Amino acid sequence: MTLDARGRIKLYETKQEREELEQHADLFSILKVTEKLERAWTRGLIGAKEYEEQCLTLIAQFKTLWSTLKATVPDVEKFMQQHSMQCPMALQRLVVVGVPATVQHGGAGTSSGPAGGSSTAQVSDTTAAFITCLDSVRLSMLAVDQLQPSLNDLMSALNKMTELPADFEGRKRVLGWLRKLADLRADYELDGIEARQLEHDLNSSYTEWQQTLK
């Protein structure tokens, strides 16, 4: 930092330094807003649908911004320490998990059938979500921004299935892929090996899910 002719502090010297400073400010803002959103969710001050929509937007903004900042901000946690930020929930959601809490744990609201199990509509929605994901892979729609929405829908559908055990392996596989995609650029495309593994995991999860309905 230097002083200008009027004795004011200059935070940047070049256009590139100015843009970098603005990006750092944007990152600071996203972390702060995410922390407030997470706290509002855990305190029951915001509904599941509204929380999930806002969280997905913040995650997308964070991924886009961080992809251009990794050279200067390789470690978000250190960035937070340098700026005296107390945002542990934002760090967990944006960097570690990469998906909303409603997708990770469920909580978007469920409705049960007469016997206490999932409704016919929920079974139909989950079936459709599996088929959509599998079709995406088979049609070579393998970019992160093509796969992520359908996998998010599948995860949300599985979370609404009340009869699924908490340790259902299919849900763990889908969450694992969501976390993997959260670390990648939106335009990244899965290679042949990754696509084959995703299709295998989806088929295995679909088969296991169908078995729970018998």
The predicted model scores a pTM of 0.62
Residue 34 and residue 90 in contact, taking contact as beta carbons nearer than 8 Å: yes
**Whether residue 164 has pLDDT greater than 60:** yes
Q: Give the pLDDT confidence score for residue 112 in this predicted structure.
A: 43
Average pLDDT over residues 170-197: 91
Residues of the chain above pLDDT 90, percent: 43
Higher pLDDT, 48 or 4: 48
Long-range contacts of 134-139 (CB under 8 A, 24+ apart): 134/199, 134/202, 134/203, 134/206, 137/195, 137/198, 137/199, 137/202, 138/199
Span 142-152, pLDDT tens digits: 999 899 889 98
**Whether residue 116 has pLDDT greater than 90:** no
Q: How confident is the model at residue 65 (pLDDT cuts 50, 70, 90)?
A: confident
Span 17-28, pLDDT tens digits: 778 888 899 999
